[in-house]
């Protein structure tokens, strides 16, 4: 059954369930990620911590910082990660997930309904994303949000990612979500989590604390609009792509310009909006108010204010 209200009682029950407060009439809580695995010795842990800082300290850009983090996680057995700032609205800070996956996530506006973000906004404990999927599969009724999250799970699996380890992080008053994954089946993934729990937590915390100190402008969640400078031509092309769903070749034809010129304008837009993909540039331009949302039934502003999930 598809409910027309995205923030109905079922969705609120899901939120309470995911943050450890079961809804009335429901026995037990969702199982969390493994706890109390074998701990590192003090010497081993301190050596690993020192190695992390030694690797990250010389970085001179967020992209280099991201690549060094990815290298550290690769040695722990995890091939991909992402770090998302949750306030004032969800904003991807660092990620080495495939560009196609990131573009599809941004194009689908999944950050508005992603239960992983909902969970991280209300909890401090790490959890497996599969636990969210288990809850949705067992829910007697399905809201619009649940169906969107099921679509998101299909998107992840279509790129080979079947499990994510979600680590909520608090830094002062700010909340972040550090997520790691690999293209492994569940037993292998869980074995890696049990083997390196403290190291994974450390890398997640360093990504926020040290990354924020090294690159405060990149991590700053407020005031982005004042820093973005877009000229008319790149903005016009983004608008045509968003509103008319035109590809680069079609835009070149209708504007009587060559494809190379269009690509140059798009590259300028991606640089100004600090994104790696054109879809990401369109998403950021809409989010920052440069372009109107092309969705005729878009209820983002209304839903976000009513729910309190995205302050």
204 and 266 housed in the same domain: no
**Do 176 and 40 belong together in one domain?**
yes
46 with 177, same domain: the answer is yes
| Last residue of one domain, picked from the residues 219, 251, 279 | 219
**pTM (two decimals):** 0.65
Domain count, the chain: 2
Helix (H, G, I), strand (E, B) or coil at 161: coil
pLDDT at 41: 56
> Do residues 53 and 170 share a domain?
yes
Domain boundary residue, one of 184, 199, 219? 219
Q: Are residues 234 and 100 in the same domain?
A: no
What is the pLDDT at residue 57? 94
Residue after which a domain boundary falls, among 178, 201, 219: 219
- Give yes or no: residues 189 and 228 share one domain: no
The confidence score (pLDDT) of residue 179 equals 97
271/209 same-domain check: no
The C-alpha atoms of residue 41 and residue 38 are separated, in whole angstroms, by: 9
Residue 240's pLDDT is 81
Q: Indicate if 32 and 109 belong to the same structural domain.
A: yes
Residues 33 and 65 placed together within one structural domain of the fold: yes
CATH of the domain at 274: 1.10.10.10
Same domain, 231 and 114: no
pLDDT for 281 equals: 84
State the pLDDT at residue 311.
Answer: 29
Q: Do 23 and 100 lie in a common domain? A: yes
CATH of the domain at 107: 3.30.450.80
Q: DSSP alpha helices (H): ranges in 123-247?
A: 129-138, 144-158, 186-195, 197-214, 216-219, 224-227, 232-244
pLDDT at res. 310: 28
> In angstroms, rounded to a whole number, what is the distance separating the alpha carbons of residues 205 and 187?
25
Among the listed residues 31, 12, 23, 219, the one whose alpha carbon sits nearest the alpha carbon of residue 125: 31
Q: Which domain holds residue 241?
A: 224-307
- CA separation (Å) from 238 to 17, 224, 227, 234? 40, 18, 18, 6
- DSSP for 223-275 reads -HHHH----HHHHHHHHHHHHH---HHHHHHHHT--HHHHHHHHHHHHHHHT-
How do the pLDDT tens digits run along the chain, 311 residues long?
333 333 344 544 554 555 454 444 444 443 444 444 445 556 778 888 899 999 999 999 999 999 999 999 999 999 999 999 998 788 899 999 999 999 999 888 898 889 999 999 888 899 999 999 988 888 888 888 899 999 999 999 999 999 999 999 998 888 999 999 998 777 888 888 988 888 999 999 999 999 999 998 888 754 444 456 777 788 888 888 877 777 888 888 877 788 888 888 888 888 888 788 888 888 878 777 777 766 544 544 434 333 333 22
Order across the sheet with 91-95: list the strands. 91-95, 80-85, 174-181, 164-171, 127-128
Question: Do 214 and 262 sit in the same domain of this protein?
Answer: no
């Amino acid at each position: 059954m598809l409910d027309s209200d995205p923030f109905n009682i079922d969705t609120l029950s899901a939120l309470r369930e995911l943050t450890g407060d079961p809804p009335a009439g429901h026995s037990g809580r969702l199982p969390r990620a493994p706890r109390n695995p074998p701990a590192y010795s003090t010497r081993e842990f301190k050596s690993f911590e020192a190695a992390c800082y030694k690797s990250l300290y010389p970085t001179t850009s967020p992209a280099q910082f991201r690549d060094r983090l990815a290298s550290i996680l690769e040695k722990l057995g995890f091939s991909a990660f992402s770090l998302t700032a949750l306030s004032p609205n969800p904003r991807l800070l660092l990620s080495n997930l495939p560009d196609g996956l990131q573009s599809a996530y941004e194009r689908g506006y999944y950050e508005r309904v992603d239960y992983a973000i909902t969970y991280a906004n209300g909890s401090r404990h790490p959890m497996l994303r599969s636990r969210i999927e288990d809850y949705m599969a067992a829910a007697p009724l399905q809201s619009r949000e649940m169906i969107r999250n099921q679509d998101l799970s299909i998107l992840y699996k279509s790129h080979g990612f079947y499990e994510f380890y979600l680590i909520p992080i608090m830094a002062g008053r700010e909340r972040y979500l550090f997520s790691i994954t690999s293209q492994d089946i569940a037993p292998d993934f869980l074995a890696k989590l049990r083997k390196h729990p403290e190291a994974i937590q450390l890398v997640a915390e360093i990504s926020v604390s040290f990354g924020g100190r090294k690159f405060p402008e990149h991590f700053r969640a407020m005031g982005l609009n004042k820093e973005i400078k877009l000229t008319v031509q790149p903005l016009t092309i983004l608008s045509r792509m968003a509103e008319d769903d035109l590809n680069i070749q079609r835009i070149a034809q209708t504007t009587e310009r060559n494809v190379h010129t269009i690509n140059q304008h798009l590259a300028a837009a991606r640089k100004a909006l600090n994104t790696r993909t054109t879809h990401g540039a369109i998403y950021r331009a809409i989010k920052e108010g440069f372009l109107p949302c092309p969705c005729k039934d878009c209820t983002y502003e209304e839903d976000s204010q009513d729910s309190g999930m995205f302050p």
